[in-house]
């Protein structure tokens, strides 16, 4: 079992305390400096291995399950480079990391590509569309080039000084209700932890499958009629109740390691 995490991650710390030495940890801030990373794609398929320098294998084809907690892939070796070089290095590192996780045969909780993690947040309207198609009631969301909903947009000039100045409307994003009583349900693999009246677990799991959410929280707000309305989700929450940590521990322990001898659980 492996958790891929950032240096500061209270949830991963708590999970490590619950699972002990059975859980290996890969800290994304040090993976390039502290590990040997090998990733190959060819006619034989995809193979990935991350090995601690001078230490054990952290990730390979025998890993039973991976929990991905990474929000972005840092490239500290390029911090003194020009901005275009830093952006290029970040894009390449992110692509390699995405491909590494996509090529694993084991379950990966939190699909980086579908979740738009690693620095590419999924737009609110797109996520709301997934929620609606999954059968969850959502609050009203709207993006418009009008300055306020129902009012004409304010056109602001942009362009180079002294040159032609086109007038464009600045898009705004609004949701109704904007605030209210909050509720949440946790997705842990193929299970939902928690209860909200009128919110079906099957719809929550359908939303999770469509977005790649394997572990995280689905957020709701109370609507004017008293119903719970989908309002967002978080694939890397920084706190989790004991019941959720317990469910996550049990889910990871249930995953059988591949049959290879010397498998990394």
pLDDT in tens, 201-221: 999 999 999 999 999 999 999
pLDDT band at 118 (very low <50, low <70, confident <90, very high): very low
pLDDT in tens, 160-177: 344 444 444 555 666 777
Q: At a CB cut-off of 8 Å and minimum separation 6, what does 68 contact?
A: 4, 101, 108, 109, 110, 111, 112, 117, 214
The pLDDT score that the predictor gives to residue 50 is: 84
pLDDT in tens, 249-259: 999 888 876 55
Q: Determine the Cα–Cα distance for residues 194 and 252; give it in Å rounded to an integer.
A: 19
pLDDT band at 265 (very low <50, low <70, confident <90, very high): low
Q: Among 23-32, 142-151, 202-211, which range has the highest average pLDDT?
A: 202-211
Q: Determine the Cα–Cα distance for residues 126 and 149; give it in Å rounded to an integer.
A: 19
The pLDDT score that the predictor gives to residue 155 is: 36
Lowest mean pLDDT among 13-17, 81-85, 178-182: 178-182
Strand ranges of the sheet holding 57-59, from the earlier edge strand across to the other edge: 35-42, 45-52, 57-59
Q: Determine the Cα–Cα distance for residues 94 and 238; give it in Å rounded to an integer.
A: 22
pLDDT band at 264 (very low <50, low <70, confident <90, very high): very low
* Averaged pLDDT for residues 19-46: 81
pLDDT band at 31 (very low <50, low <70, confident <90, very high): confident
The pLDDT score that the predictor gives to residue 171 is: 57
The pLDDT score that the predictor gives to residue 172 is: 61
Across the chain, what does the average pLDDT equal? 80
Judge whether residue 246 has pLDDT over 80: yes
Contact assessment for residue 213 and residue 207, using Cβ atoms and an 8 Å cutoff: yes
The pLDDT score that the predictor gives to residue 192 is: 96
The pLDDT score that the predictor gives to residue 127 is: 86
The pLDDT score that the predictor gives to residue 162 is: 46
The pLDDT score that the predictor gives to residue 170 is: 52
* Averaged pLDDT for residues 213-236: 92
Q: At a CB cut-off of 8 Å and minimum separation 6, what does 200 contact?
A: 135
The pLDDT score that the predictor gives to residue 99 is: 77
The pLDDT score that the predictor gives to residue 149 is: 47
Phi-psi region of 192 (alpha: psi -120 to 50; beta: other; left: phi over 0): beta
pLDDT in tens, 35-50: 887 878 777 777 778 8
Q: Determine the Cα–Cα distance for residues 106 and 81; give it in Å rounded to an integer.
A: 36
pTM for this predicted structure: 0.79
């Amino acid at each position: 079992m492996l958790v891929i995490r950032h240096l500061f991650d209270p949830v991963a710390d708590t999970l490590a305390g619950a699972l002990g030495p059975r859980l290996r940890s890969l800290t994304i801030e040090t993976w390039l400096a502290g590990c040997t990373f090998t990733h190959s794609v060819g006619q034989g398929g995809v193979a990935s291995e991350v090995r601690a320098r001078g230490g054990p294998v952290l990730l390979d084809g025998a890993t039973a399950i991976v929990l991905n907690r990474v929000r972005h892939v840092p490239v500290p070796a390029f911090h003194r480079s020009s901005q275009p070089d830093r952006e290029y290095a970040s894009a390449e590192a992110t692509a390699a990391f995405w491909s590494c996780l996509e090529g694993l045969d084991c379950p990966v909780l939190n699909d980086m590509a579908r979740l738009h993690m690693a620095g590419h947040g999924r737009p609110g309207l797109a996520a709301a569309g997934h929620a609606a198609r999954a059968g969850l009631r959502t609050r009203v969301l709207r993006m418009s080039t009008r300055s306020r909903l129902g009012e004409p947009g304010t056109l602001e000039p942009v362009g180079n000084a002294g040159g032609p100045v086109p007038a464009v409307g600045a898009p705004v994003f609004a949701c109704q209700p904007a605030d209210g009583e909050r509720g949440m349900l946790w997705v842990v693999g193929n299970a939902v932890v928690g209860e909200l009246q009128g919110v079906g677990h099957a719809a929550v799991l359908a939303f999770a499958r469509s977005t790649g959410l394997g572990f995280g929280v689905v957020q709701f707000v109370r609507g004017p009629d008293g119903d719970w309305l989908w309002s967002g989700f978080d694939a890397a929450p920084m706190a989790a109740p004991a019941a959720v940590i317990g469910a996550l521990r049990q889910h990871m322990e249930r995953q059988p390691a591949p049959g290879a001898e010397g498998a990394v659980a």
